[in-house]
């Protein structure tokens, strides 16, 4: 009988969980809320409900929970207490910090698993706080929980910076969409004349704070010079400025145009400030890179800059906490689906059940690597030009993103720099460092 590597990893994981949740464990299942959280105490051996409690979602509430749990432990002869929570929002982090100071272990239950367990419980989707708290405790008793723990130190800082960066990115994209919608409303001539230009090129001109009539009053050279001074970018600006200037000659003044241009300019200010904030956050993450112990990885992979590496590490956390390279694509939700049975083997798209921001950022990094790194470009061409199971460009970029994540894990766990022969499969990697 063959015992695969995956079977051994799964067995080891279940052994670790079983060592934490013994039959004589008191499980406190917590349904989190902004103000007050409901706690249901369950005995792991038979999932018997031993009590219910409502506490504030604060450190004081945790102290009340532990005190009440101590009474139940004495009454029912249960030597160990474990808290189970759903990883929703930031509320679980408040309780996790508090119980860590008290030396009480905690585990996390996935929201998806909890939602499915409601239907498995009595074939309904009824949701109440006490019911969810009890189901969380039941899932912990069944060892259906995550071993993830609260990040601390520089990793917590990096994660918060990455989340702030994502929030600013959403604001910038929203402002850009508003500009585009207003542009279609009041300046359709411009869009008709420059259909092949990206919307951000047109918005680049609007960030100058000029109306179409003001642009038309300038010469093409003056308009191009203003764009260069504003954006410090000489790529395409010459021909782009001339095309936009020509379209501006057809603009007609109106009250509606004046009001819309003002709103476009205000949105442009939000874009500018958002990008400045993103640049500041990138600098902070790059500065924290050395404190993670992974500073030696910068510059190892051409096309993946310091800021890109810092952002990826901020979204993955310490790479050494994963026991296999395949955990990284799964964390990002970019691992491919499979529908195989008997002689039938069928693969589908990616799962998308992971960290969306990590998935998007890894994809963007993959596009850059295909452009600048010969090893990744070679792999990309092999995936898109092969005769069987040929991938579309976007599918190949996702595959390259997964390869990048696996490569970073391999470098982090082995302590070795990027090796082209290993990446191309010419030779296998040496045994990982302890």
pLDDT for 86-100, tens place per residue? 987 788 888 999 998
Nearest to 69 by CA among 88, 53, 48: 53
- Asked which of 27-36, 260-269, 380-389, 409-418 is least confident by mean pLDDT, the reply is 260-269
Instruction: Count other C-beta atoms under 10 Å from residue 200's C-beta.
Output: 12
The contacts of residue 1 (CB under 8 Å, 6+ apart) are none
Q: How far apart are CA 140 and CA 146, in angstroms?
A: 9
Output the six-digit token pair for 248: 């501006």
Q: Taking the mean position of all CA atoms in its chain, how far away is CA 198?
A: 26
Contact 300, 408 (CB under 8 A): no
- Asked which of 24-33, 164-173, 347-356 is least confident by mean pLDDT, the reply is 347-356
Q: How far apart are CA 36 and CA 6, in angstroms?
A: 41
Predicted confidence at residue 4, as pLDDT, reads: 85
Average pLDDT over residues 118-134: 87
Confidence at 364, pLDDT banded by 50, 70, 90? very high
Q: Of all residues in the chain, what percent carry a pLDDT higher than 70?
A: 87
Residue with tokens 């995956």: 6
Confidence at 209, pLDDT banded by 50, 70, 90? low
42 pLDDT higher than 80: yes
Output the six-digit token pair for 360: 């998007």
Report residue 284: phi and psi, to 5°: -65, -40
More confident residue, 172 or 185: 172
Q: How far apart are CA 65 and CA 52, in angstroms?
A: 10
The rounded mean pLDDT for the chain is 85
Contact 292, 154 (CB under 8 A): yes
Sign of CA dihedral 123, 126, 131, 134: positive
The model's pTM is 0.79
Output the six-digit token pair for 18: 């079983």
Find the helix or strand (DSSP H, E) in which 299 lies: none
């Amino acid at each position: 009988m063959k015992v695969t590597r995956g079977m051994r990893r799964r067995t080891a994981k279940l052994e670790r969980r079983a060592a934490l949740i013994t039959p004589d464990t008191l499980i406190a299942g917590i349904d989190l809320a902004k103000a007050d959280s409901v706690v249901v105490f369950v005995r792991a051996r038979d999932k018997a409900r031993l009590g219910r409690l409502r506490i504030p979602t604060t450190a004081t509430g945790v102290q009340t929970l532990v005190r009440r749990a101590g009474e139940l432990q004495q009454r029912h002869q249960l030597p160990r207490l474990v808290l189970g929570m759903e990883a929703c929002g930031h509320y679980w982090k408040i309780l996790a910090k508090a119980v860590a100071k008290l030396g009480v272990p905690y585990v996390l239950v996935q929201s998806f698993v909890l939602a499915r367990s409601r239907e498995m419980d009595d074939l309904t989707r009824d949701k109440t706080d006490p019911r969810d708290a009890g189901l969380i405790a039941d899932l912990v008793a069944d060892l259906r929980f995550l071993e993830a723990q609260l990040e601390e130190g520089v990793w917590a800082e990096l994660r918060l910076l990455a989340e702030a960066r994502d929030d600013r990115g959403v604001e910038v994209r929203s402002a850009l969409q508003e500009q585009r919608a207003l542009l279609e409303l009041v300046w359709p001539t411009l869009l008709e004349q420059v259909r092949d230009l990206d919307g951000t090129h047109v918005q680049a001109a609007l960030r100058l704070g000029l109306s179409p009539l003001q642009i038309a009053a300038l010469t093409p050279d003056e308009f191009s010079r203003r764009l260069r001074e504003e954006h410090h970018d000489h790529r395409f600006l010459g021909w782009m400025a001339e095309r936009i200037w020509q379209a501006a000659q057809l603009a007609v003044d109106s009250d509606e145009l004046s009001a819309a241009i003002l709103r476009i300019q205000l949105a442009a200010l939000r874009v500018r400030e958002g990008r400045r904030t993103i640049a500041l956050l990138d600098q902070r993450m790059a500065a924290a890179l050395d404190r993670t112990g992974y500073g030696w990885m910068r510059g190892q992979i051409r096309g993946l800059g310091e800021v890109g590496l810092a952002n990826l590490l901020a979204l993955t956390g310490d790479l050494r906490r994963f026991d296999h390279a395949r955990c990284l694509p799964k964390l990002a939700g970019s691992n491919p689906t499979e529908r195989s049975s008997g002689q039938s083997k069928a693969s589908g798209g990616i799962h998308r059940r992971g960290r969306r921001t990590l998935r998007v950022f890894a994809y963007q990094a993959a596009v850059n690597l295909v452009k600048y790194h010969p090893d990744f470009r070679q792999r990309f061409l092999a995936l898109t030009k092969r005769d069987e199971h040929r991938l579309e460009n976007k599918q190949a970029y996702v595959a390259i993103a997964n390869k990048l994540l696996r490569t970073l894990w391999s470098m982090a766990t082995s302590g070795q720099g990027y090796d082209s022969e290993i990446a191309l499969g010419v030779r296998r990697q040496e045994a990982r460092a302890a």
